[in-house]
Amino acid sequence: MEQQYLYIVLKHLLETINGQHEGFLQPLFRPLSGTSKRCSGQSPSQYVYTRSLPRLLEMNILIFWDRGAPAGLEIPVYRIISQILDIPASVCESPVLYNGFDRTRNQFDASEILTCLDIFSRRNGEKNLILLVIGDDIYRQNTRYVFGLSRPATGTAVISSARLKNEYWGLPSDEMMLVDRLSREGAHELGHLLHLDHCDNPSCIMANPLTLDDLDNKKSMLCPLCLGKIQRSPITVSI
């Protein structure tokens, strides 16, 4: 599996080089071997992937990986998201139980999921931005479906892998494509949590992805304008 992850990260490195975004280069040369250990003071089922580099321990972005989300893709996804936004990130098994299932649609209401995340965040005094990755299909009022939804005021976001999988559209499974899509959609929603609006540059992560093709046509990077905004503005979350 590690070889596949190496391939994915190298693929991203080539894309980064082609995009002339040197800010991403340094983190990609971290060693790929990692350990998983339990978090102290948190749910026993939680774990955090740690690295020897101190900047990853700052944990500014916390990714909760639900049991229903695609197993085994946590590490490449969190690494690529961290590289895209140039912010430290970590990934945990999700401790959050969410509700909001709509029987008539066979989907979850993404706003209700965010409310569950907000309650968890408040109860735990969570200061990090939280991205929840789930496998269930989600919608927002007046839409058939959404890939993800964010709530910048509380620093919470959710993305669904349901329609990011090739299988959903009757195409052969492609794990690397799924890693790319999860990373891009996750970075996009986190970008909103960092108070970025949609961007007119179609290859920027903050371009509004209305279809899967839109998502696939992006590059796994922020345009210089959006990256500059993130680097200039402090992260504020009200809990």
How distant is the alpha carbon of residue 87 from its chain centre? 12
CB of 38 to Zn ion, least distance (A): 34
How many CB atoms lie under 10 A from the CB of residue 188?
28
Helix, strand or coil, per DSSP, at residue 106 = coil
| Distance (Å, whole) CA 28 – CA 23 | 10
Selected binder of Zn ion within 81, 110, 204, 221 (CB under 5 A): 204
Please state the closest distance from residue 206 (CB atom) to Zn ion, in A.
Answer: 5
Of the residues 74, 126, 185, 189, which is catalytic? 189
Smallest distance from the beta carbon of 181 to Zn ion, in angstroms? 14
By the rule CB under 5 A, 131 interacts with Zn ion: no
CB of 108 to Zn ion, least distance (A): 19
| From 3-11, 75-83, 101-109, 222-230, span contacting Zn ion (CB under 5 A) | 222-230
If you compute the radius of gyration of the chain from its CA atoms, what whole number of angstroms results? Answer: 17
* Cβ within 8 Å of residue 156, ≥6 positions away: 114, 117, 118, 121, 129, 130, 132, 150, 193
- Examine residue 138 and tell whether it contacts Zn ion (CB under 5 A): no
Instruction: Name the pairing type of β-strands 61-65 and 129-134.
Output: parallel
* 218, 226, 229, 230: which one binds Zn ion (CB under 5 A): 226
- 199 contributes a contact to Zn ion by CB under 5 A: yes
Q: Which residues are catalytic?
A: 189
Give the residues lining the site for Zn ion (CB under 5 A): 199, 201, 204, 206, 223, 226
